[in-house]
Structure formats: C-alpha cells, structure tokens
C-alpha cells in the first residue's frame, strides 16, 4: 500500500501556543483512518492541514509525493472536508448537492448524479426538492455528505460526522463511507467522539492527546465495549473470558478508549507467582523487537487476539528468556492510564 500523505516535523501554533506536534506520520491510500482524541486534542487542526485549508506553522506535508507548497488547485479540489456543523446553502437539497459540480463546470447528467448521491446516503430522491430548513440534523449531515460524495473525491475528511445524529443516520453515514471507499477508491479520515461507531468502521486508528500523536502500536489503546460492574466500574471482558476491572472508573463512559503507555505494563513468565493479582491477565508473546539506542526490548503480546506492547530491559529479558509463543502474566498499572 502506498503512502498518500507524508507529514514531517509538523507544528501548528495559534496565538503563539503550540496546539499540534507531529514528528512523522504516513497515511496510506484507500484506507479509512479513525482519529480518536478528547476535545481540544488537535483533530480539527490536523484535518485543516490535511485538507490544505491551512499551512503548517512548521514542517512539511507531502501529498502523492508533492510538497504542500507546490500543491495545485486541482489536487486541492480532490480533497474535500465535511466540517463539524456543516453549512448548507439556503436553497434546496438538489442545489446543495449539485453546487460543487456546478462550480467545477461539470454539469453533464447532473440530475442523475444528484439522485445517485442522495441514494448513497440513504435519502429518497423526493428529498431533492426539500429546502435546507426542512431537514432533521441527521438528514442535514447526510445532505452535506452527499454534496461531497458527488465529487468522487480522492480524499474525504469527516470531522465529527455523527455529532447530534440519530442512530439510523449514523448507520447510513457508515454505509455511505464504506461505499465511497469501495466505489471511488476514496481515502477517508474521520474523527468522532462516538468511539464505538468509529472503531467499527476504520482500518487504522490514530489517537491524539494534547496535540501529540499516540498511535495504536506505539501506545496501547483499549477500545470499547466496556461492561459496568455492580459498583459502576468499567470492566473489559476479553473474548477468552478474562476480565480487567478498572477501579474508580465510575465516571467513565462505556464507549471510552483507554490509553496505556508501554511503560505502564509489567510482564513476566506465567510461572512467576509473585506478580499475580485479581487483575493479572494471561497473554501470549507474539514478537520481540530490539529498540535502537535503548536498553530495552519491545515485547508484543496478545490477549485473546488483541495486541499490546510492553518494554522490558535487556537484563530482565536475559533472566526470563522469553520467546514468541510463551505464555506471560500481564499487569497494567491502572493509575498511569489516560482516557480519551
């Protein structure tokens, strides 16, 4: 799979304050990439750079190998964004959806194209004559999406497409996105606070925290669903029946994502009884990597099909002599985790 975007040493400042910092990020073509992160973590800022609406304060973004300073209008037009709270023209649904093609003087078979776009987002062709003011929140969001899909964009960026949207519309938006990926080979970036919805739709997951990237792989992300126990605490139930109870998590929602730094995970061979407590999990070592310039090894392990990473010192590794396939005990230092 080839890289569509390459970001190098990006920094974005507002009023002298750094709000985004990305050392390197490669985004592949024809993938749905989900961006997770709490309010103010920099998702919209990153989207404004990826859509070339804003220039980064520092660093470079290349698109298809072309540096952001040299991107032409045609390329920019192939990247479309549906912002948070998308704006509809005070006209009919037809006019809204046809607007982008008219701007591009591409008006052949306009009616068929508008109808096709409406169908793609699960709206009846009768909607074409409705005014912008006669739509529900979910329908408005789908009209805004249809207005972008009609352009068969190379990149579609959706900033919170499910905010304030009913469940049915959220499902129809998901189907439209999957169709766009398949039918038009569109690369799609999505942010959503509906973590469950986003987690199901995307091929790759990236999290942002206080303007920094934390990607699944370098940091461990434990996704929803969570169960709640009698005390109201979140419990992760793995598919093999193992349970991880998070103390003092009553205030967390069941679709939260837990971020666990590799440093906050201790591992040891399954026979090391001194490490065992009621939250100890049993995992299988998948692979062991040497980290350059570090006195540590990165151990990738799986808990019933979910992969995590932990670090182990070389001395400890010598003692434990772990190999791929070995069973290990895993303890997560829950006081050091973050929630998004």
Ligand X SMILES: Nc1ncnc2c1ncn2[C@@H]1O[C@H](COP(=O)(O)OP(=O)(O)OP(=O)(O)O)[C@@H](O)[C@H]1O
Contact footprint for ligand X (CB under 6 A): 14-15, 19, 37, 39-45, 84
Residue 206 CB, shortest distance to ligand X, in Å, is 12
Cβ(86)–Cβ(144) below 8 Å: yes
The nearer residue to ligand X, 52 or 238, going by C-beta atoms, is 52
Residue 61 CB, shortest distance to ligand X, in Å, is 16
Q: How many CB atoms lie within 10 A of CB 296?
A: 18
- Rounded distance, CA 314 to CA 200, Å? 37
Residue 127 CB, shortest distance to ligand X, in Å, is 28
The nearer residue to ligand X, 45 or 310, going by C-beta atoms, is 45
- How many Cα atoms sit within 13 Å of 280 on the Cβ side? 17
- Rounded distance, CA 206 to CA 15, Å? 26
Alpha-helix residue ranges (DSSP H) falling in the chain: 43-50, 73-77, 93-103, 110-120, 137-149, 167-184, 195-201, 314-320
The nearer residue to ligand X, 45 or 220, going by C-beta atoms, is 45
∠ CA 165-196-199, rounded to 5°: 115
- Rounded distance, CA 137 to CA 144, Å? 11
The nearer residue to ligand X, 257 or 283, going by C-beta atoms, is 257
Residue 10 CB, shortest distance to ligand X, in Å, is 13
Cβ(206)–Cβ(215) below 8 Å: yes
Residue 167 CB, shortest distance to ligand X, in Å, is 21
The nearer residue to ligand X, 46 or 98, going by C-beta atoms, is 46
């Amino acid at each position: 799979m080839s890289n569509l975007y390459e970001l190098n040493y990006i920094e974005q400042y507002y009023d002298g304050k750094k709000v985004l910092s990305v050392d390197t990020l490669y985004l592949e073509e024809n993938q749905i990439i989900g961006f997770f992160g709490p309010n103010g973590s920099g998702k919209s800022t990153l989207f404004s750079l990826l859509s070339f609406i804003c220039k980064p304060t520092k660093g470079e973004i290349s698109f298809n190998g072309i540096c952001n300073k040299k991107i032409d209008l045609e390329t920019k037009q192939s990247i479309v964004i549906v912002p948070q709270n998308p704006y509809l023209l005070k006209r009919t649904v037809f006019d809204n959806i046809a607007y982008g093609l008219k701007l591009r003087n591409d008006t052949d078979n306009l009616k068929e194209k508008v109808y096709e776009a409406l169908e793609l987002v699960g709206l009846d062709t009768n909607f074409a004559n409705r005014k912008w003011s006669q739509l529900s929140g979910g329908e408005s969001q789908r009209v805004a999406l249809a207005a972008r899909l009609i352009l068969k964009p190379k990149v579609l960026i959706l900033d919170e497409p499910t905010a304030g949207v009913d469940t049915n519309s959220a499902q129809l938006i998901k189907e439209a996105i999957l169709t766009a990926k398949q039918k038009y080979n569109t690369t799609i970036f999505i942010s959503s606070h509906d973590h469950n919805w986003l987690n199901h739709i995307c091929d790759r997951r990236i999290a942002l925290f206080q303007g920094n990237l934390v990607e699944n792989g370098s940091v461990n992300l434990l996704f929803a669903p969570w169960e709640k126990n009698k005390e109201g605490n979140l419990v992760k139930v793995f598919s093999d029946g193992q349970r991880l109870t998070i103390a003092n998590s009553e205030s967390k929602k069941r679709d939260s994502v837990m971020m666990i730094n590799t440093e906050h995970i201790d591992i040891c061979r399954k026979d090391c009884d001194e490490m065992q407590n009621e939250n100890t999990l049993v995992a299988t070592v998948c692979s062991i990597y040497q980290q350059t310039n570090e006195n540590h090894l990165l151990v990738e392990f799986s808990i019933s099909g979910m992969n995590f990473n932990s670090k182990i010192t070389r001395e400890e590794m010598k003692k434990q002599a772990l190999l791929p396939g070995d069973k290990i005990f895993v303890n997560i230092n829950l006081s050091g985790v973050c929630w998004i």
